[in-house]
Amino acid sequence: MTSLADLRVIDAATLFAGPSAAMMLGDFGADVIKIEHPRRGDPSRGHGAAVDGVGLWWKTLSRNKRAAAVDLSREEGQEILRRLTDRSDVLIENFRPGTLERWNLDPAGLLARNPRLIVARMTGFGQFGPMAGRPGFGTLAEAMSGFAAMTGEPDGPPTLPPLALADGIAGLALSYAIMVALHARERTGRGQVIDMAIIEPILGLLGPQMSAYKALGVVPRRTGNRSNSNAPRNAYRTRDGRWLAISTSAQPIAERVVTLVGRPDLVEQPWFGSGAGRVQHVDELDAAVAGWIAERDAAEVIAAFEEAQAAVAPIHDVSDLAEDPQYAALGTFVEVPDPELGSVTMQNVVFRMSDTPGEIRWPGRPLGRDTDEVLGGLGYGGERITELREAGVIA
């Protein structure tokens, strides 16, 4: 049994944030219909690595989705979407503010036809404000949120992540917002509109930076791999050239680490009793830990930390992930059969549930693979579908 099998979700968003929220709903059984432009398709089809011209990012991002190609800028395409939302629970879209309204697909009109519909609007900057009409991507959110300003080496430039970080965070947040709206609908019987700006969810992961700024005037500074909150916390190189990450967020862990590396005297220092105090003496702490680790191979260091019940982990690249026994035990990566590529390896459903587990039923499909099936379910006959295809409204 899949927990969301009674839901129909229309994914009319592009690239990453909105589609990733739809993917997570699809992982737990929702019938997700992906709407793409019949000639251009979703831009994520062309992002990242590809095999024989088939994008691997697309295969993961659009898994468990039926693929329908409809031109929503055309009147006939707009009618298709209206008829779809009449029979759906959720519409996810990320067009610039005013676009749906210009296409006569405004949320108020869609809700008038289907009062139980949830319209989830994902944009860079939200539906109002001085920047609302601008194009927005996750990179801009990483810049505006303060993330880039506090990331990087102290004497280096602000650093942007090499991945769609803000989009991924916003996708998680939107899937949560949709579930909240669905739960509220159980009490009220009514759907609603969700307005989510990509620039906002990432703020929550950066801690109380605004609280500290308003109360104390603190502006976070770049610390490289160190932390403003606790020490020692860094990436340390072993004798055999491996890199290990260590965190001492909990006081007992910090005590175990410095004792293990031969400096139990540090525990007795008055400043050692708090993360903030240890940060003030980070150079001394890092020197002790780094020196001890540099004299030993990675396997020896990890074994010693495990015996001491201190926190350590190897810094993996993807080749290490493929061989890691913990990920193997969790079933984190799975081989999914695919008619285009034979099979695709991808990350599994992001969490496990004892009674209603999710599953990957199929990877992202070719453009327009399910258009005829989707339109047939709306009552369109074969002749009308052919006319719409010949007119370029669908593919």
The catalytic residue positions are 167
Cα 34 from chain centre: 18
Distant-in-sequence contacts of 147-153, Cβ < 8 A, 24+ apart:
147/202, 147/206, 149/220, 149/222, 150/206, 150/209, 150/220, 150/221, 150/222, 150/223, 151/222, 152/222, 152/224, 153/222, 153/224
Beta bridge partners of 234: 246
What DSSP string runs through 29-49?
T-EEEEEE-TTT--GGGGSS-
Query: Which residue type is seen at 250?
Result: A
d(CA 140, CA 385): 40
Distance, in Å, from the CA atom of 71 to the CA atom of 36, rounded to the nearest integer, reads 7
Report the half-sphere exposure of 388 (CA within 13 A, side-chain side). Answer: 27
The answer for residues whose C-beta is within 8 angstroms of residue 94's C-beta and 6 or more apart is 13, 14, 15, 17, 18, 121, 122, 123
Q: Is the peptide bond prior to 232 cis by the omega test (within 30 degrees of 0)?
A: yes
Rounded to 10 deg, the angle between the 282-294 and 251-260 helix axes is 50
Q: Is 305 helix (H, G, I), strand (E, B) or coil?
A: helix
Q: Which two three-digit tokens encode residue 233?
A: 């916390």
Q: Roughly how many angstroms between the first and final C-alpha of the chain, as a whole number?
A: 33
Compute how many other C-beta atoms are within 10 angstroms of the C-beta atom of residue 207. Answer: 14
Tokens coding 315: 């810094």
Asked if residue 260 lies in contact with residue 314, where contact means CB atoms within 8 angstroms, the answer is: no
**Pairwise CA distance, residues 150 & 219, whole Å:** 9
